[in-house]
């Protein structure tokens, strides 16, 4: 049935008489003019006057119709039908997408951007008519985007809107749009709409090439209309903490180490003397200030020290600005309380030198707990008790023993090889030098016991954690950072592009190499021996710090200092195999606790936790003991 939504406007149809009145009032009155002859005028009337009247009549009709159509348009004609979705009363299905990424926490004089977006969403709900169905949801960069059920209850929708809150995630606008279009495909309503409320952060559109999929999903007979409602304040005054870098240092008790923090300026103006603070174990231990150019970044170096082993936590924090969520960056590290070392050697003198370098005390209570085993007894050793095994000058390693050592290293243990007086080069090349270090051992150079001719340590990788303590000495003096030991004999190794040489001799041959096992532990190879007939290494002051730092390096997982988990990511923690079976308690930064279990692996256990919705420190414990 045909009707009008604003029928009162129809009274305006009376205005259609106005053109007629104007026409009648504007008609010219005839004036009497006397002519001597009317023949010419009668001829003119027949040819032109008739067409003039028709033209005036058509003009009158057009003017009248214009007035009539204008009145009808304002009266809003509608077609009422019993069929759903037809006519002016067609119902609407709408999806309201509210960006709740951390950038929406930006403060303005009227409140945060998220609060402003909530207010605008409430206005949108008030505009919807009875029978319209709406789904209101927040979105960020979550992997699974799901919409709540559509509802026509405005009060319920507003209640859901009030419960929405900000997250600490970044955003993914494209994923949310694709999900909304997919949900609207199931709607039978003719009108389908999406309201997108966001701050238009650039990172939210990083998958914008996928927007082409919207054209495929959007039906041509019932298109989805998109309404973009941006929320942007004036120029953003925001700094954030970027990467934290420990610089591949060995972190030791009582020794200073450095932490480098990157600060990023997102503002379009220069930032002068902005405060940066370092917190360690709940205390502010250092602070500095930084000046940044517009849109630039700067590095801040902190020097810190810990006096006890174990777990340590900290953060780098900026002073408050318009966006507080990105003002902190967290870190944690562990200094082993005890490193269990097993020394296996054929030469008692070499074994004694290494043991004394690691732990000279008779009670074996130092940082290094040293055990010694005869090569023949290695099959009876429980290798999982140790973090590091030193294989000092073994001629050969039996196949069954070697398989156990490989499993030990693949599970994260460290191996330190040194060669002896009579090594089985075929075994070492096939099993050790080639697969682990990418070298081939050719043969011996020099003469063991012949001290007249020797080779010195010439090139050293001072960027490596083992030797980084000598870097300052080299900068102070162009000569070698320490007095080089003398090598009377060594084994020549041919390197490849995969080899990593940490030190080489005056002959240009490598003396110390680093290798490793995929997803496992690290390994070092000394191409000479600690025996006094091969070198005077054990007699030098260099020996004790070198052995200690080499063992610290092999036993510590330095990569853990560089790994970071972003909000929403998964934390994977390796725990020692000594951790008892049972529940692992995960405590979030807000104190809420979750329970999970560890997966048993050789020499260790693995725990995974994915509920990382808050930035901060996540603590793992078992039976009341903090594990990580």
User: Domain 339-555's class?
Assistant: alpha beta
Place of tokens 């009337």: 45
68 touches 140 (CB < 8 A): no
pLDDT recorded at residue 344: 92
pLDDT recorded at residue 87: 44
pLDDT recorded at residue 88: 46
DSSP 3-state assignment of 511?
A: strand
Q: How far is 212 from 177, CA to CA, in rounded Å?
A: 11
DSSP H or E segment with residue 356 = helix 348-358
H helix and E strand count, the chain? 13, 33
Burial grade of 73 (CB within 10 A; 0-12, 13-18, 19 or more): exposed
DSSP 3-state assignment of 432?
A: helix
Nearest Cα to Cα of residue 412 among 287, 521, 322: 521
CA atoms within 13 A on the CB side of 461: 15
Q: How far is 487 from 447, CA to CA, in rounded Å?
A: 10
Please report how the helices 543-555 and 348-358 are oriented relative to each other, as an axis angle in degrees rounded to 10: 80
Q: What is the CATH code for 239-335? A: 2.60.40.10
Q: How far is 545 from 473, CA to CA, in rounded Å?
A: 15
The backbone torsions φ and ψ at residue 259, rounded to the nearest 5 degrees and listed phi first, read -130, 125
DSSP 3-state assignment of 429?
A: helix
Our measurement of the distance from residue 521's CA atom to the centroid of its chain's CA atoms, rounded to an integer in Å, reads 26
Q: Are strands 224-230 and 283-292 parallel, antiparallel or unpaired?
A: unpaired
Taking CA atoms, 421 is separated from 116, 217, 353, in Å, by 78, 74, 17
Q: How far is 178 from 182, CA to CA, in rounded Å?
A: 6
Q: Are strands 111-112 and 133-139 parallel, antiparallel or unpaired?
A: unpaired
- Say how many C-beta atoms besides its own lie within 10 A of residue 49's C-beta: 10
Whole-prediction pTM: 0.69
Q: What is the CATH code for 92-230? A: 3.40.50.410
Q: What is the CA radius of gyration of the chain?
A: 41
Return all residues near 46 (Cβ < 8 A) that are at least 6 apart.
none
376: DSSP letter: G
Nearest Cα to Cα of residue 528 among 441, 435, 409, 470: 441
Between vectors from CA 444 to CA 440 and to CA 449, what angle results, nearest 5°? 150
The backbone torsions φ and ψ at residue 25, rounded to the nearest 5 degrees and listed phi first, read -70, -25
266 touches 322 (CB < 8 A): no
Return all residues near 411 (Cβ < 8 A) that are at least 6 apart.
384, 520, 521, 601, 602, 603, 604
pLDDT recorded at residue 558: 57
Q: How far is 112 from 234, CA to CA, in rounded Å?
A: 13
**Residues 590-610 as b or e (16 or more Cβ within 10 Å = b):** eeeeeeeebeeeebbbebebe
390 touches 342 (CB < 8 A): yes
Place of tokens 């020499």: 603
- Residue by residue, DSSP assigns 128-187 as PPTT-EEEEEEESS-SS--PPPPB--HHHHHHHHHH----SS---HHHHHHHHHHHHTT-
Q: How far is 598 from 298, CA to CA, in rounded Å?
A: 40
Q: How far is 364 from 271, CA to CA, in rounded Å?
A: 55
Q: How far is 524 from 550, CA to CA, in rounded Å?
A: 8
Nearest Cα to Cα of residue 466 among 441, 502, 430, 435: 502
Strands (E), 249-296: 257-265, 271-280, 283-292
pLDDT recorded at residue 417: 92
SS3 of 610-625: CCCCCCCCCEEEECCE
Between vectors from CA 615 to CA 614 and to CA 618, what angle results, nearest 5°? 85
Token representation of residue 322: 């318009």
Mean pLDDT by runs of 10 across the 628 residues of the chain is 65 76 67 62 63 76 82 68 47 87 84 89 85 86 72 86 87 83 81 86 69 59 80 78 81 84 87 90 89 88 87 88 86 84 91 89 76 87 88 90 88 88 90 90 85 84 82 51 79 90 90 83 90 87 88 75 70 68 79 78 70 81 72
Q: How far is 160 from 154, CA to CA, in rounded Å?
A: 10
Q: How far is 290 from 301, CA to CA, in rounded Å?
A: 10
């Amino acid at each position: 049935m045909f009707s009008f939504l604003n029928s009162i406007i129809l009274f305006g149809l009376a205005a259609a008489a106005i053109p007629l009145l104007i026409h009648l009032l504007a008609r010219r009155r005839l004036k009497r003019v006397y002519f001597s002859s009317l023949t010419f005028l009668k001829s003119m009337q027949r040819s032109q006057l008739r067409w003039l009247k028709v033209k005036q009549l058509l003009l009158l009709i057009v003017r009248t119709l214009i007035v009539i159509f204008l009145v009808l348009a304002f009266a809003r004609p509608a077609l009422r039908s019993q069929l759903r979705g037809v006519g002016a009363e067609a119902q609407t299905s709408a999806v309201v997408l509210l960006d709740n990424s951390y950038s929406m926490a930006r403060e303005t004089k009227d409140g945060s951007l998220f609060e402003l977006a909530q207010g605008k969403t409430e206005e949108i709900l008030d505009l919807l008519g009875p029978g319209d169905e709406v789904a209101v949801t927040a979105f960020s960069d979550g992997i699974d985007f799901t919409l709540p059920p559509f509802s026509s209850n405005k009060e319920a929708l507003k209640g859901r809107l009030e419960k929405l809150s900000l997250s600490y995630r970044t955003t993914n606008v494209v994923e949310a749009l694709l999900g909304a279009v997919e949900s609207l495909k199931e709607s039978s309503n003719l009108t389908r709409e999406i309201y997108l409320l966001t701050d238009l952060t650039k990172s939210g559109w990083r998958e914008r090439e996928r927007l082409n999929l919207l054209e495929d999903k959007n039906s041509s007979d019932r298109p989805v209309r998109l309404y973009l409602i941006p929320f942007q304040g004036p120029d953003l005054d925001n700094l954030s903490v970027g990467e934290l870098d420990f610089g591949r240092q060995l972190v030791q008790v009582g020794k200073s180490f450095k932490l480098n923090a990157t600060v990023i300026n997102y503002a379009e103006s220069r930032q002068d003397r902005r405060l940066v603070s370092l917190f360690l174990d709940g205390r502010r231990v250092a602070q500095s200030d930084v000046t940044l150019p517009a849109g630039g970044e700067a590095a801040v170096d902190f020097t810190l020290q810990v006096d006890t082993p174990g777990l340590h936590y900290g953060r780098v924090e900026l002073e408050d600005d318009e966006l507080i969520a990105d003002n902190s960056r967290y870190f944690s590290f562990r200094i082993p309380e005890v490193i269990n070392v097993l020394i296996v050697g054929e030469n008692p003198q070499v074994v004694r030198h290494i043991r004394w370098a690691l732990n000279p005390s008779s009670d074996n209570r130092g940082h290094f707990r040293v055990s010694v085993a005869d090569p023949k007894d290695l099959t009876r050793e429980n290798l999982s008790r140790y973090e590091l095994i030193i294989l000092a000058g073994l001629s050969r390693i039996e196949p069954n023993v070697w398989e156990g050592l490989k499993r030990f290293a693949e599970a994260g243990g460290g191996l330190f090889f040194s060669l002896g007086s009579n090594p089985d080069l075929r075994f070492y090349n096939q099993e050790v030098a080639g697969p682990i270090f990418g070298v081939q051992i050719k043969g011996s150079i020099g003469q063991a016991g012949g001290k007249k001719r020797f080779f010195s340590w010439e090139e050293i990788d001072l960027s490596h954690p083992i030797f980084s303590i000598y870097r300052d000495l080299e900068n102070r003096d162009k000569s070698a950072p320490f007095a080089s030991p003398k090598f009377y004999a060594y084994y020549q190794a041919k390197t490849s592009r995969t080899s990593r040489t940490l030190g080489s001799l005056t002959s240009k041959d490598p003396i110390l190499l680093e290798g490793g096992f995929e997803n496992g532990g690290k390994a070092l190879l000394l191409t000479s021996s600690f025996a006094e007939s091969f070198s005077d290494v054990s007699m030098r002051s260099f020996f004790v710090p070198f052995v200690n730092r080499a063992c610290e390096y092999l036993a510590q997982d330095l990569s853990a200092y560089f790994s970071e988990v972003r909000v929403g990511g998964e934390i994977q923690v390796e725990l020692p195999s000594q951790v008892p079976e049972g529940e692992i308690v995960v405590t979030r930064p807000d104190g809420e606790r979750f329970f999970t279990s560890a997966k048993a692996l050789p020499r260790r256990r693995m725990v995974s936790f994915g509920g990382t919705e808050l930035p901060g420190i996540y603590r793992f414990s078992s039976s009341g003991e903090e594990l990580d």
